[in-house]
Amino acid sequence: MKQVIAIVKPFLAERVLEALATVPIEALSVHEVRGYGRQKSYLDATTEQDRSLAFLPKVEVECWVADDWVELVI
């Protein structure tokens, strides 16, 4: 059993969940989170005071799958 965590942009979350519906998942958890990734330069444009508010909305999808299915899920 492996835990797979994906953090995606909100508009992609539905597609990720639809794709996971085709795989035998033991458990699934979805959370709204905030953060940054490739758009890190986005933070450079903010002031130190605004930095805590500068994180962008994301969706974290956690799922637990059997070892045989991990490669397909990734």
Which amino acid makes up residue 1?
M
5-33 mean pLDDT: 95
Specify the pTM: 0.77
Task: Delineate the domains of the chain, giving CATH numbers in brackets.
Answer: 2-73 (3.30.70.120)
For residue 67, the surrounding DSSP H or E stretch is: none
| Separation between Cα atoms, residue 21 and residue 38, nearest integer Å | 28
Residue pLDDT, tens place only, 27-74: 999 999 988 776 655 555 555 555 556 678 999 999 999 999 999 999
6-10 mean pLDDT: 94
Q: pLDDT at position 56, please?
A: 84
Q: Are 63 and 8 in contact (CB under 8 A)?
A: no
| Separation between Cα atoms, residue 42 and residue 24, nearest integer Å | 38
Q: pLDDT at position 64, please?
A: 97
